[in-house]
Structures are given as C-alpha cells and as structure tokens.
Amino acid sequence: MSNITPLINVMKTAYNKVNRRIYRDFGEIENLQGVDTKIDKFFDKTYQFVEHNLKDYLLYCRPEWKFLNDKNIVCNKNTYYWLLEPLSGKENFKRSIPIFSSSISVLFNDKVIASSIYDPLRDEFYFSEKGKGAFLNDHRIRVSKRRYLENSLISLKVKNSNEDLENLILKKNIPLKNFRIFNSSYVSMSWLCSGKLDCFIGINMNKFFIQTSKLLLRESGGFFLETNIHQNTFFICANPTIHNKIIKILN
C-alpha cells in the first residue's frame, strides 16, 4: 500500500476537479467526427477548462508556488514550480481514441521532486516522490523484467525529426513488429513504468517531458539515456536489460 503524502494528495484532488468534464467531453466529441473545425473549437474549450481548473486548485493549495512553461524557463533558487501538461494525446482525444492523460510535477532547485500522471478514462493515478518509489493508485509498480527484444514492446514518439526512422530501425536490427505508436508520451511513460511496455524511445521530445519522466522511471527501476543521433535528440527509457541492448544496437 502507498503512503500518499499531502503533496501527492493535492495532485490527486486536482485531477478529480476536472475528471468529470474530461469524461463528458470525450463522450461528446465522438458526435463531431468528420467536422474538423467544430472538433478543434470543442477541444480547445476542453483543454482550456482543464488547464484553468488545475492551475486554480494548485494555486489555491500552494499560493506561493509558481508555474513553469515553455515561455517561462528561468527558475529561481529555493522556489517551487509546478510543471503541468493538461492533456497529453491531443489528437487521440480529438479523434475519440481513448489514449490520453494529464500530468502534474513539482520542480525545486532544478530537480523534479514529485511527479504524477493521471489517466481519467481508466482512473489510473501514477505518482512518485524522490526516494519513495513509484505507484499506481495504491500499489507499487516496477518496470518489466523482459530480457529479449524479440518479445518486447517499444513505444515510439517522434517530434519534428528529419531522420529516416524506418531505415534507421531496419539497419539497427530492431524488429518493426515490436513498435507501438500511441501518440501520448505520458501514457507511454506510465505504461513503461508499470511493466506494460518494455521501452520508450522519444525523438526530439519536450524538455519538460524529459525532466518529469526521469523521476517516475528511476523510482520504478528503469534506466534512461539522452543522446544525439544524426542531429536528433533521442530519449531512450527501458527496463535495465532492454535498455542495455537498445543502447548497444544504436551505438
């Protein structure tokens, strides 16, 4: 059983503030399929509602804390910052594909000290704090123990890559049948940390996603590496055995 601290409880309650709206809007958006302009407007309202209400509750609970985003990346020393992703998997949500999630993390002195991911449709709350382990709801989670690439599952997420990925993968002898593209990096990370996936390869990922993912991955027993290949930044996360094999192949 997990020992939910006051900080983690704040995150959990914040998700609960928007969960009903997300669930309702996701059900409604299926009726708009085929009309992209209406879908975009509908989604924008949902996204803004989730972002506003998460921020509102977090600010209410910790009024002295600040929010960090792509436009505000300067961190002051001894100041707590919230890192927020209202909905990861935007295109999935728009197409009524049930693979998306939200994420809240805390940064202090350039280090993430607490991180969480919430999947509202499955009511799965993933969280971790430094040195306290990683959890899914009330249960401790660990990365998988699979040892062979032949039966492993690898999630791939690409952002603005100029790499011929298929050619790269085939040249490096990583079987294409092992790859899955879920279009939600936070869902992929939560599934990796709970053993459903064995590896996540992100190419040119957002800096904040990388920062927030490391803590949950470490606390669940996973390894990660950031490296450059052909002017693209690779963020490779996996269980220890698969991680070593992927690194050897790419090297």
All structural domains of the chain with their residue ranges: 6-140, 149-250
Q: Would you give the DSSP letter of residue 220?
A: T
Give the pLDDT band of residue 165 (cuts 50, 70, 90): low
Q: Please check the confidence at residue 167 and state whether its pLDDT lies above 90.
A: no
- Helix, strand, or coil here: 66? strand
Q: Which is higher by pLDDT, 54 or 173?
A: 54
- What is the structure's pLDDT at 73? 62
96 and 35 in contact (C-beta within 8 Å)?
Answer: no
pLDDT value, residue 199: 95
The pLDDT, as a whole number, for residue 75 is 78
Please check the confidence at residue 170 and state whether its pLDDT lies above 60.
Answer: no
Give the pLDDT confidence score for residue 30 in this predicted structure.
81
Q: Is residue 182 scored above 80 in pLDDT?
A: yes
Q: 203 near 158, Cβ under 8 Å?
A: yes
In this prediction, residue 71 has a pLDDT band, given cuts at 50, 70 and 90, of low
pLDDT class of 162 with cuts at 50, 70, 90 = low
Averaged pLDDT for residues 204-229: 93
Does residue 73 or residue 127 have the better pLDDT? Answer: 127
Q: What is the length of the chain?
A: 251
pLDDT (tens digit, 9 = 90+) per residue, 100-129?
Answer: 999 999 999 989 999 999 999 999 999 999
Q: 117-124: long-range contacts at Cβ-Cβ below 8 A with a sequence spacing of 24 or more?
A: 117/186, 117/187, 117/189, 117/190, 117/216, 118/11, 118/12, 118/15, 118/19, 119/187, 119/190, 120/15, 120/18, 120/19, 120/22, 120/23, 121/23, 121/26, 124/190
Query: In the prediction, which pLDDT does 220 show?
Result: 97
Q: Which residues pair with 103 in a beta bridge?
A: 85, 117
- Examine the pLDDT at 45 and tell me if it is beyond 60: yes
Select the more confidently predicted residue: 83 or 172.
Answer: 83
Q: Mean pLDDT, the chain, as a whole number?
A: 90
Fold of 6-140: Fructose-1,6-Bisphosphatase; Chain A, domain 1 (3.30.540)
Question: 149-250 domain in CATH 3.40.630.40?
Answer: no
172-189: average pLDDT: 85
